[in-house]
Structure 1
Amino acid sequence: MMPTARDALLDAALSALAGLPWSAVRMVDVASAAGVSRQTLYNEFGSKDGLARALVRSAADGYLAGVDRALGSAGGTGDRLAATAAWTVRAVRANALVRGLLTGCWGERLPRPVHPAAPTASLVPAQRRADAGTPTPAELLGQVGARAVAALDEGRPPHDPEVLAATCEIALRLALSYALVPTPSGTEGEVAPLVREVAEWRPTG
């Protein structure tokens, strides 16, 4: 499927952000790199702030799509949580916007998101979801946890809902700790064995 003008513009903006702080990224350069007119860019996003919000929302959507793929992979609870944790480590290290979304740490180089508590009105219909839908770190972790519980609570074997929810949260927080403070090996798979152990641990006695 051919990318849309919106997709091309988001890709161009993300590429520009890799080399420049957001304050130095120019709309005319983003439009040129995407092969569209500056008017098309403004028609899609309304303003540079609108483009920033769309970039952050796109990063959140891309991360959640990867979570869904990991949770849908083969294996039991431990394997699928381990895959989700490894994806989280990889996404945080590879994408500064995902890192900001999951940690709340937004440096001067990055566009800051607008959270639902302080929405910005937009005249561009396609921008309204980005204006109102960027989650805080706690909300994003909550979304991932809820997806994990829904995907893993299949009754084979039956799970205690509270234990499963706690296990998912522990796995996600382990992943964030590995992403932010890597071990010497520095690979995303390093978190997987520990997550499997957590997921498969059962109290004795």
Structure 2
Amino acid sequence: MPAARESLLDAARAALLRRPWSAVRMVDVAAAAGVSRQTLYNEFGSKEGLARALVRREADGYLAGVDRALAAQGGPCERLVAVAEWTVSAARDNALTRAMLTGCWSERLPAPTLSAVPSSSVVPAQRRADGPLPSPQDLAAVVRDRAVALLSPPGASGAETADLARTCELVLRLALSCVMVPPGEGGVAALVRGALHHRPA
């Protein structure tokens, strides 16, 4: 991603921390990034395009954290615990991530449409940002599938892979429940370990 594009997204995110998205002005985002307003429009086409790109970047950041958790040392259980802890932490610290994971968009946030923007309105730099944005179900499926791909033992049977997929989805849904209702003593890690320990073989 070009440096100007990254700077603009950084500026948009910083502006969103200070005021509701409806009060974020394109001219202020451009000035904070040190580029012209025309450059901003060339990159994103509109404020909606900027919002879509910002949401997609936050989704990419969340998924990068999932990948780090899955690549950590330890057995499958501990790596799934790490995914759950990252999910709760990311959602707690980032309102956009929380909205993407739960589908609960507040008035302060941009709420770009999830469907693709017609290609006739897309400039080259926008192509990926203007594709369909992930719904909560999409993100959950991506996390589940990445976990299965990394945690499946060599030569796993179809039944074993399907069981692992159910386990991964259970862990993610437990984490999401902790996003909505913070867990008690022991946090999400204790909840996930307990669920995995008592899960029927």
TM-score calculated relative to the size of structure 2: 0.90
> Which position in structure 2 is the counterpart of 1:59?
58
CA deviations on 1:127-157 (whole Å, 9 max, x unpaired) are 1211113111111101111111111103398
> Number of matched residues?
199
RMSD, aligned CA: 2.2
Tell me the SS of whatever aligns to 1:173.
Answer: helix
Is 1:178 paired with 2:184? no
> Which position in structure 1 is the counterpart of 2:117?
119
Q: Is this contact kept in 2: 1:22–1:109, CA < 8 A?
A: yes
CA distance in 2, matches of 1:103, 1:178: 11
Is 1:96 paired with 2:95? yes
Matches within 5 A, 1:24-63: 24-63=23-62
> Which position in structure 1 is the counterpart of 2:200?
203
CA distance in 2, matches of 1:165, 1:103: 20
> Which position in structure 1 is the counterpart of 2:160?
160
Change beyond 3 A, Cα 1:184–1:154: closer
CA distance in 1, matches of 2:183, 2:190: 14
CA deviations on 1:161-197 (whole Å, 9 max, x unpaired) are 1211111011001111112211356xxx721122233
CA distance in 2, matches of 1:177, 1:150: 24
CA distance in 2, matches of 1:25, 1:146: 36
Q: Is this contact kept in 1: 2:122–2:130, CA < 8 A?
A: no
CA distance in 2, matches of 1:13, 1:194: 36
> Which position in structure 2 is the counterpart of 1:193?
190
Give the aligned residue type for 2:112. P
Give the aligned residue type for 2:192. V
CA distance in 2, matches of 1:26, 1:46: 14
Give the aligned residue type for 1:167. T
Q: Which runs of 5+ in 1 are unaligned?
A: none
TM-score calculated relative to the size of structure 1: 0.89
Tell me which stretches of 4 or more aligned residues in structure 1 moved more than 2 Å.
118-123, 154-159, 196-204
Tell me the SS of whatever aligns to 1:203.
Answer: coil
Is 1:139 paired with 2:138? yes
**Structure 1 range deviating more: 155-164 or 131-140:** 155-164
Is 1:151 paired with 2:150? yes
CA distance in 1, matches of 2:26, 2:154: 51
Q: Which runs of 5+ in 2 are unaligned?
A: none
> Which position in structure 2 is the counterpart of 1:16?
15
CA distance in 1, matches of 2:184, 2:35: 44
**Structure 1 range deviating more: 176-185 or 95-104:** 176-185
Tell me the SS of whatever aligns to 2:61.
Answer: helix
**Structure 1 range deviating more: 70-79 or 127-136:** 127-136
